[in-house]
């Protein structure tokens, strides 16, 4: 089972002024992949704090998925994409596009989301919106992809070669893609 980190970007929740609802909701959804939570971090809406939380999870070799919630809109404090972008080595724009398009059926504000998705080494990072309802909608949209990548028979799992020898399928933790 894959390990997944969850990061909530929220000034008010990080100061204790409001309970974080989106992060725990997202962590509870991980079982549907199936994945186990590697931790939940609540950080202020700053590039430095968000990127620091991302790097903290990236240093854990077992973490193969990092989901962020919050900070993907257009206000000056919405900086999650700016924090994430330098860490993405192989972008997966289709994931963010699928979230925007699928959410648009529920709200026209979905089209102003600036969420990003992509791989850093062998770890997938995905930015999700900040409300619990939007987290559930977007997670449902991405669930088939998460299951394909991280489910019981994930892509990239070791496969037998013709001669019967197993390909170990291991890549070094933060190996750069060719």
d(CA 76, CA 44): 13
d(CA 91, CA 11): 27
Model pLDDT, residue 152? 72
Do you know the residue count of the chain? 178
- How large is the average pLDDT for residues 50-62? 98
Model pLDDT, residue 108? 87
Q: Is the pLDDT of residue 176 over 70?
A: no
User: Across the chain, what does the average pLDDT equal?
Assistant: 89
- The answer to whether 55 and 19 have CB atoms below 8 angstroms apart is no
> What would the pLDDT profile of 6-38 be if each residue is shown by its tens digit?
999 999 999 999 999 999 999 999 999 999 999
> What would the pLDDT profile of 57-88 be if each residue is shown by its tens digit?
999 999 999 999 999 999 999 999 999 999 99
């Amino acid at each position: 089972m894959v390990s997944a980190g969850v990061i909530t970007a929220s000034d008010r929740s990080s100061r204790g002024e409001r309970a974080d609802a989106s992060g725990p909701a997202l962590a509870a959804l991980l079982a549907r992949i199936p994945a186990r939570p590697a931790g939940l971090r609540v950080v202020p809406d700053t590039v430095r704090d968000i990127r620091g939380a991302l790097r903290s999870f990236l240093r854990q070799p077992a973490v193969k998925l990092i989901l962020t919630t919050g900070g993907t809109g257009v206000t000056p404090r919405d900086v999650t994409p700016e924090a994430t972008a330098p860490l993405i080595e192989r972008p997966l724009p289709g994931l963010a596009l699928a979230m925007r398009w699928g959410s648009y059926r529920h709200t026209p504000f979905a089209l102003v989301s600036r969420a990003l998705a992509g791989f850093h080494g062998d770890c997938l990072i995905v930015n999700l919106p900040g409300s619990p309802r939007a987290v559930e909608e977007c997670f449902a949209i991405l669930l088939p992809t998460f299951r394909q990548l991280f489910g019981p028979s994930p892509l990239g799992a070791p496969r037998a070669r013709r001669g019967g020898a197993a390909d170990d399928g291991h890549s070094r933790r933060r190996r750069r893609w060719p």
